[in-house]
Amino acid sequence: MSSHEYTVPAEGLDAAEVAEPGAVTIVVPTFNESANIGQLLHQITESVPARLPCEVVFVDDSTDDTPEVIREAAQDCPFPVAVLHREEPVGGLGGAVVEGLKAAASEWIVVMDGDCQHPPSLVPELVATGERTNAGLVVASRYIKGGSRAGLAGSYRVAVSRGATWLTKALFPRRLHGISDPMSGFFAIRRSAVTAEVLRPLGYKILLELAVRSRPRQVAEVPFVFQDRFAGESKSTAQEGVRFLRHLAGLRTASPVARMVGFGLIGASGFVPNLVGLWALTVLGLHYLPAEILANQLGVAWNFLLIEQLLFRDRRAHRRWWDRLGRFALLANADLVLRIPLIALLVGRFGMGALPATALALVMTFVLRFVGTEALVYLPRRKTGRGGRSTARRGV
């Protein structure tokens, strides 16, 4: 990733004005928010440094003049302002936040949007609540007493927000226990409570990623009123919605057991294209045996696409796509070849009935196919390094 960074030094910060101990890094991910920068920095200046020493880190993926606007506006700020501009926006807005977490110099890090919908006046309260309750994560919530989602424009966005909140809490009841607003983009986290390297963000819901992958033991919440956007347009698009659903699927299938369940459900869904293909080919006059062999490839392709997107998205860099597809197809077709002799063995050698033998063979070959897929398709290739060590090959 190519990046450019610059810092504007702090001026005029009187330590005697600091009412609370500690310091905070405010991380602001931005994408074409130039019209909001001046107002945001003005609000931070008015409400934060008199109570809490702070620095601001913008992580910018913009295609407009946002970095230059930040440079100009930062000249009048009584606190350090830094910009990390990413040429490649890996991981989207969530990826930008992870870069900000890595760059932060303070024990407390507050993440907030750059569109002025998150009030900077709440930053000292977020940190103070964390210190008072010994929490590692403090979430600014729209859904507890005193909070409001008033700034959400239109009933459609309100419905989407509520639906996404319900879905995430249903999928992760334990990890999100005590977090009423997992869709919030406004929160404070202790630097010592998060390991940035374990995060795999995809899209803009970084709090969900943090809570699921590296949730601190103690979590607190403070209410906040979601403000109207100061300028520009919302970045919440249908494409971001799809990325969010993919992210949910990736988080939910992170454990081996969950991946196996997902693998089985995807495999079952592959019967649909298989049967449709078989019907079409036999209607065209093809004998059912070669028709089934060809139709099975449709199911294989269907399963491969879903598994790539939903189960092993973060492991695809280890091999080329054609290598992964070839290995997956080989395993899937080997399943057919193995199943019939296995059924014959169970019936002939162990005296099982045809039906239970078939069911047991299906389970056995399913487990073998899942283990083979993980080990032969999606685990990193290993090569021997210096001194005879075996090292994983990292994809580009």
With beta carbons less than 8 A apart as the criterion, state whether 130 and 188 touch: yes
Long-range contacts of the stretch 321-324 (C-beta < 8 A, 24+): 324/377, 324/378
pLDDT on residue 92: 76
**Rounded distance between C-alpha atoms, residue 178 and residue 144, angstroms:** 11
Q: Is the dihedral of CA 59, 60, 65, 66 positive or negative?
A: negative
Decide the pairing of beta strands 137-141 and 219-223: parallel
Q: Is the dihedral of CA 186, 189, 191, 195 positive or negative?
A: negative
pLDDT on residue 266: 84
Closest among 98, 242, 121, 174 to 250, alpha carbons compared: 242
Closest among 109, 162, 157, 140 to 225, alpha carbons compared: 140
Q: Please tell me the total number of residues recorded for the chain in this structure.
A: 396
pLDDT on residue 127: 93
With beta carbons less than 8 A apart as the criterion, state whether 80 and 50 touch: no
Q: Give the number of C-alpha atoms closer than 13 A to the C-alpha of residue 68, restricted to the C-beta side.
A: 3
Q: What are phi and psi of 203, to 5 degrees?
A: 100, -150
pLDDT on residue 182: 86
With beta carbons less than 8 A apart as the criterion, state whether 179 and 221 touch: yes
Burial of 149 (0-12, 13-18, 19+ CB in 10 A): middle
pLDDT on residue 395: 33
With beta carbons less than 8 A apart as the criterion, state whether 346 and 357 touch: yes
Going by C-beta distance under 8 Å and a sequence separation of 6 or more, which residues neighbour residue 246? Answer: 202, 203, 309, 310, 313
Q: Note the helical H segments in the chain.
A: 34-47, 66-74, 92-103, 123-133, 154-171, 206-214, 238-252, 256-269, 271-283, 288-310, 321-348, 354-372
Q: Which fold has domain 3-252?
A: Spore Coat Polysaccharide Biosynthesis Protein SpsA; Chain A (3.90.550)
Across 349-377, b (16+ Cβ under 10 Å) vs e yields eeebeeeebbeebeeebbeebbebbbeeb
With beta carbons less than 8 A apart as the criterion, state whether 60 and 67 touch: yes
Alpha-carbon distances, residue 218 vs 22, 113, 178, 181 (angstroms): 19, 24, 9, 16
Profile the chain (396 residues) by mean pLDDT over runs of 10 residues.
Answer: 41 36 81 89 91 91 89 89 86 83 88 88 92 91 82 61 76 81 88 74 72 82 80 59 69 69 81 83 82 82 86 77 87 78 83 78 80 80 48 36
Q: Enter the DSSP assignment of 199.
A: -
Q: What are phi and psi of 164, to 5 degrees?
A: -65, -40
